[in-house]
Chain A
Amino acid sequence: MNSARRRIADPTLVGLAMALSLFGIAMVYSAGQTDVPTVVAKLYRTQIAWFILGLGAAYAVSRASVRFLDWLTTPAYAVSIVLLFLLLFIGAGAGTAASTKSWLAIGGVRLGQPSELAKIAVILMLARILASRKVAPRSLMDLWQPALAVAIPWVLIMRQPDLGTGIVFVGIFFAMLFWAGASWQLLVLVASPVVSLILAFSTGLWGAWFLVLIALVLWYRPYLVEGVAVVLANVVTGVVAPVLWDQLNPYQQKRLLVFLDPTTDPQASGYHVIQSQVAIGSGGWLGKGFTLGSQKRLAFLPAQHTDFIFPVVGEELGFIGVTIALSLFLFLLLRSVRIAARSADPFPSLVAFGLASAWFVHILVNVGMTLNLMPITGIPLPFFSYGGSFMLVCWIAVGMLVRISGEGRGPSDMLVI
């Protein structure tokens, strides 16, 4: 059999991930090329090391059967929760999020962000819970288990606080519910309190939303108790929203306000977004040339090797470069969805879709943030942003997808690697 002799089970996926990683490393290198050299100048070497390590990890993971992943779910989830809990006491800050406690450090050496591990653990746990049901979730009661599985790490992460990763968890949750076959009406009902939370600041909008919700409840006809619970939850969140707002950290409030209008605070909070847009916008069709972006070179871009690496692409490689990068991401995600769709078993299928959705939220929020389409939440861009543990986790995800892809094609393809 031809496919059995291939060294890589899914060359398309791996090829896309390789292309993105090399593109990313080139951009990390460029991000270090500033007129006044900083420590960033040599970070691309570290990134290459992590990339190689990531390749090894992906290979190792791809050797592990899906059943092993299933077996790993509970311990991985437990370890993640314990680490996240410990972080609240021993967590360290770093970089743009110096005031948060998202890093696990021993003796001042930062080992990594446990929330990266938690993402995979939660995806595995959700996949297991949703796969164990033979029918699609139909009522809110059907959702308590998956909801709890996400809520525990989510609360711990929001306590760090790390709004960005929290958003990723919410995205994973809804995406996997969708993949498990939950109807869109149910998803809307679940999401409705959050919508109320946001719309609560405008009485008129909130009132309109409330009418829509009532209509949806009458149409979808959930259990009476659940219908009442959803409506009540909306009322409660609508009322407590201003209270919650007051409890947000000033920097979080500021970030959300600046998202609405960056020019309100051009020197401080709005600075990142404005400079990022200037970098991207001044790139034009073809960009200023690799390593030649003046915004980047003169250090106007904040966090240009991590959260704001995409503006470097925009400035130096222009619209063409941006389109190539985004296309690579799109193909990666489409390929992942295809793997999920072709998988015979629910568990690996859900895992594959969960991993794809995690990437998607990262890409959408990170890239959207550079154009002020999303609030600044400080989550990295997969394969691009400098950061060891994230690169590693991304490649572990690639390894898992390769394995799922291989197993998904049936018994004959199982021993491909």
Chain B
Amino acid sequence: MSFHPNEMQRRARLASALLFLAFVFLVGSFFRTQVLQHAQYVLQSEENRLREVPLPAPRGVIYDRHGQIIAENLPGYSVSLLAPGVDSLRAALRRLAGTIPMSPEQINQAIRRFRRAPNRPAVIFPDASFDVVSVLEEHRVEFPGLIIQSAPKRYYPDGPAMAAFIGYTGEVNEAELGSANFKGYKAGQQVGKDGLERQYEHLLRGREGTRFVEVDARGRVVREAGARQDLLPEAAPPLYTNIDLDLQKFVVALFGDSLIGGIVAMEPNTGAVLALHSAPTFDPNRFIGGIPADYWRALNEDSRRPLYNKAIKGAYAPGSIWKLATAVMAIQAGVVSLDDQMPVACTGGYQYGNRRFKCWEKKGHGQVNLAQAIEVSCDVYFYQLGLKIGLSRLVAGGVELGARERSGIDLPSETRSSFPSTPATDYYNRRFGARGWSNAVSLNLAIGQGENAQTVVNMARFYTALATDGQAAQPRIVRGEAQRERMFQLNDEQMDGVKKALAGVVQRGTAAASQIRGVMLAGKTGTAQNAHDPLRDHAWFVGFAPANDAKIVVAVMLEFGGHGTRAARIASKIIEHYLGVQTTQVINTEGE
């Protein structure tokens, strides 16, 4: 009975119904995938076929105070490869190496870059020469994943003159990518590595653009334009600095290649940094896009340590320039006035306990008051003043004057100056043991020796307070609002007296050879002993001019430079150049 027509009809209806249900199920499934989940799959399909090629944004141009360019961008080329996986990238690189010579290190680096960001094209030559680009363009067909594009390249027109503060740019590294400061950065991007480039990275970076290229399943570029509208990169706005390019170049020329040291020139009222230099210098342009190994080695092997920033990183015993700190805290505390003399006259030395502390002037200065002691930098006077102030006030006063602080200059990695902490006895007990030291440390501290190491920029900051009204200005390279902080409080008469004493240093005292015709220069020399080379002292001079209405403060430190008078001559030339007096005028009149 199984093939009776009625039976057949029944089964046919059942079979048809099942078929219908099966197809409804299939159509329903397609409806879900194609209509309901459409957006999600469109996205996936776009991700499949589009590769984002980053278009680096030009970094912000950096200007000096008169609108001259300090840092700009030059057109350059970068070469990268799109690859679906490490293996195919390696294979492509191997083939590429047959066309363009590549070191194994370059190949490995490209693979490392790819591993960090597999969705971006792996950069092979971040800064390809025109020769490389033209060879690759010729062989383009052989390398379907190859992407050649223009990439702005950082350039410093006066490179070596800017080395101390400009920094350089380079590819963001692993450690940076992991840090919170570089959130949102992607491997392969160029970032500021030091100096202003690093400090103002957030302002200078601009916004990276994106070019979309279409690739097939094997990662071959099948369409370069029109796949999707490119997102154009946005250049960063320019950055205006306080630097006086003309003065900066003058300073650098003055130091030349023979002097070693650091210099900071700033406006005392605003803190604007006019010039900042560390000698000997190097060329930051050569650091862009990877530092050549031989250049790096040469810089590191140079005993003058060109990479060690002597203006903001090096901390040196301040020597006699610190005597002003001692003097200011004594006057402020009412211990002495500028006219007061000390009980013991200077005979070239001072007996304290069983030890004789020498004055730099073996013949002795005789009986001097404070103002005269500053002029001639009499150690014996300051030994006694130190004792009179007392150790704890000497230390607390130094701390008050910022001796344990950074100047706050807008540059990364400024060294914090070092000085004993308060309370002083605890500090010395910790340092030398309870019986390892005596009150004699006060004598050293008072003349800027002992446990005291200051950066050049921090001393410049301290002297802005001396040059004005006791308020120190925070050094600023980039234009911005002045930040001033009171360091000490003297009345007008006392302030005037201190400035007169400092002017006396140049007129009659230790820096008498550095006078500037027509301008009253004030300042203090320092000749600081150092542990590295007992025979060659560090030479200091910090000064300002005009003495009664300072427009510029200059701090100069010559590493192993001998006597402070040498530093004073440099400083006076810088100030003379900046104020545009004598030299330029004399030359002009002679020329006419």
Contacts and interface: CB of A to CB of B under 8 A. Distances in A.
B217 interface: yes
A284 B38 contact: yes
A57 to B, nearest CB: 26
A180 B8 CA distance: 9
A294 B33 CA distance: 17
A406 interface: no
B416 to A, nearest CB: 52
**Chief secondary structure at chain A's binding surface:** helix
A218 B214 CA distance: 64
B19 A330 contact: yes
B7 interface: yes
Interface residues of A, number: 53
A299 B7 contact: no
Interface string B409-422: 00000000000000
Given A36-B216, A298-B215, A330-B19, A322 B30 contact: yes
Interface in A298-317: 298-300, 314
Interface stretch (A186-194, A199-207, A363-371): A363-371
Interface in B1-32: 1-3, 7-9, 11-12, 15-16, 19-20, 22-23, 26-27, 29-31
A257 B27 CA distance: 25
Interface string A343-373: 0011001000100000010001001100101
Given A181-B3, A281-B41, A299 B33 contact: no
Contacts of B223: 35
B222 A298 contact: yes
Given A282-B42, A298-B217, A330 B23 contact: yes
A333 B16 CA distance: 8
Q: Which among A278, A340, A349 has the greatest number of chain B C-beta atoms within 10 A? A: A278
B23 A326 contact: yes
Given A281-B41, A330-B20, A341-B9, A371 B27 contact: no
A273 B218 CA distance: 18
A270 interface: no
A323 B27 contact: yes
B38 to A, nearest CB: 5
Contacts of B11: 178-179, 181, 341
B150 interface: no
A294 B49 contact: yes
A281 B2 CA distance: 45
A414 interface: no
Interface size class of B (residues with CB under 8 A): 35 or more
A283 interface: yes
A346 B3 contact: yes
Nearest to A180: B2
Given A36-B220, A333-B19, A300 B34 contact: no
B26 A181 contact: no
Contacts of B19: 330, 333-334, 337, 360
A277 B45 CA distance: 10
Contacts of A314: 30, 33-34
Q: Which among B7, B11, B222 has the greatest number of chain A C-beta atoms within 10 A? A: B11
Nearest to A134: B2
B35 interface: yes
A281 B40 contact: yes
A300 B41 contact: no
B429 interface: no
B41 A278 contact: yes
A223 B580 CA distance: 122
Contact of A364 (B22, B45, B48, B49): B22
A106 interface: no
B37 interface: yes
B48 A300 contact: yes
Contacts of A85: none
B27 A326 contact: yes
Q: Which among A277, A281, A285, A294 has the greatest number of chain B C-beta atoms within 10 A? A: A281
B88 interface: no
A44 interface: no
A381 to B, nearest CB: 12
A18 interface: no
A102 interface: no
B44 interface: yes
A281 B12 contact: no
Given A35-B222, A281-B42, A337 B16 contact: yes
Contacts of B29: 368, 371, 373
Please name the 5 residue pairs, one residue from A and one from B, whose CB atoms are nearest each other, closest first: A281-B41, A181-B2, A341-B12, A136-B2, A282-B45
Interface of A: 34-36, 131, 133-136, 178-181, 275, 277-285, 294-295, 297-300, 314, 318-319, 322-323, 326-327, 329-330, 333-334, 337-338, 340-341, 345-346, 349, 353, 360, 364, 367-368, 371, 373
29 contacts: A34-B216, A35-B223, A36-B220, A133-B2, A135-B1, A136-B1, A178-B11, A179-B11, A181-B11, A279-B45, A280-B30, A280-B34, A281-B33, A282-B45, A283-B38, A284-B35, A285-B38, A294-B49, A295-B49, A300-B216, A322-B34, A323-B27, A333-B19, A334-B20, A340-B8, A353-B15, A368-B26, A371-B30, A371-B33
Given A181-B7, A277-B33, 10 more contacts: A135-B1, A277-B41, A278-B45, A283-B38, A295-B45, A300-B216, A318-B34, A322-B30, A334-B16, A345-B3
